[in-house]
Structure 1
Amino acid sequence: MPELQEQEERLQFDRFDHDDAWELGTLLVGLGRQRGHAVTVDIRLGDHQLFHYALPGTSPDNDDWIERKIRVVRRFGHSSYLVGQSYRDRGTTFEAQPHLDPARYAAHGGCFPIILRGTGPIGTITVSGLPQLDDHRLVVEALELFLDGKRSGKGTA
C-alpha cells in the first residue's frame, strides 16, 4: 500500500481546469484506443462532469461502475484501489462493511482523486472496463504522462 499512497503524493496538480480535463481525457481515450481496451473515461471537477467518453465495447454498466467508484473517492479522499486494498490488507473486504451499500459504493480500482497541491482532492478521474488493477494502472500512467508533459512544458500531444 505504500506505493499507492506514494502515487497520490506524487501525482498532484498545481492547477486543474476544463482544458486540462479535455487534454487528460483525450490522452486516456487515446491510450485505451491504441491498446484495444473497451473503457469508459470520466473526469469531474467536484460534481461537474467535464469529460466523458465510452469506447466501443462498453455499456451502461461501465457508467454505473464509474458512479460507484467516484462515491468511494469522494467519501474517503483516496483512490478507489487504495481504499479497497486497505480493507484487503486488514483481512476483510470493503463489501463486508455493513454501513456501505455495495450498490452505491465500489472500492475497485480505476478512480483517482484530482489532488490540487496545497488544497487536497477537488475532483476525480475514472476509468471502467478493465480488471480493477488495470483500470488503476491506466489512470496512473495517464497522470504520469500528463503531469510530466506539463512540468517539461511539452504537453502530452
Structure 2
Amino acid sequence: MTDTTPYPLTNPPTDLSAISQIDSSILFPSFTTTDAWVLGNLLRSRLSTYASPSVISITLANTTPLFYTAVSPGITPDNTFWVARKSATVLRFGCSTWYMHNKFQGDEKAFAEKYSLQERAKEYAIHGGGFPVRVKGVEGVVAVIVVSGLKQQQDHQVIVQTCRDFLDGVGEGEEKRKED
C-alpha cells in the first residue's frame, strides 16, 4: 500500500532577507549529472505524494537539460511554459522566483515596469518554484531547479527542503549551514 500523505512542507518565509539567506545558504559541493538525477528523483518521490500533477526540471545555466519529468497524470503544456518562465527569472536575476515574488508582492506589472521588460515580460515568472543551484567556489548560478504544479509556496519549499536533505546526505547539510 502506498502512503498518500503529502510530503510535509513548512511555510517559506516572506521576508526578503530571510529568503535571500536561504537562497545563498544552499551551496552544493559540486553539481554533476548524477547529482541532478538523484535530486530529481528525490523531488519526484516527494511530489508523488500530492494529488496535483507537477513537473520537475533541472537544467544547467546554459539550459542543457539534466532532469525533466512529469509527476502524476494531468500535466498540460502550460506546466512547460511555467518551467521556462521560472527558469528565465532565476537565470536573469540570480535568485529564487519566490524571492522575486515577495520583492514585488506578486505584482507582475510592477516587476515588468521596474526592469523595462515591455513585451518580454511574458518570458519571466515571479511565482515560487524556480531555484538557483550554486556550487562552492564557483561564482554565479550553475543550474536551475524548477517545480511547477503545486501552490507556488509549495513549489518553492519542496525544492528548498529537498536540497537541504540531499546536502545532508552528502555531508554538506546542517553543519555547512551553521558555518555560513
1:108 correspondence with 2:123: no
1:54 correspondence with 2:70: yes
Structure 1 residue 152 displacement after superposition: 6.8
What TM-score do you get using the length of structure 1 for normalisation? 0.88
Where does residue 108 of structure 2 map in the other structure? 94
Where does residue 136 of structure 1 map in the other structure? 156
Q: Across the two proteins, how many residue pairs are aligned to each other?
A: 150
* Residue-by-residue CA offset, 1:53-98 (whole Å, 9 max, x unaligned): 012221111110000011100110000110121122xxx7233323
* Residue-by-residue CA offset, 1:113-154 (whole Å, 9 max, x unaligned): 01112223111000000111111011111111111111179x
Which of 25, 38, 61 does residue 23 from structure 1 map onto?
Answer: 38
Unaligned runs of 5+ in 2: 1-15, 174-180
Unaligned runs of 5+ in 1: none
* Counterpart amino acid of residue 72 in structure 1: T
Larger gyration radius, structure 1 or structure 2: 2
**Secondary structure of 2:145's aligned partner:** strand
Q: 1:145 to 1:36 in 2, by over 3 A?
A: farther
Structure 1 residue 26 displacement after superposition: 0.3
Distance in 2 (alpha carbons) for counterparts of 1:82 and 1:93? 13
**Secondary structure of 1:142's aligned partner:** helix
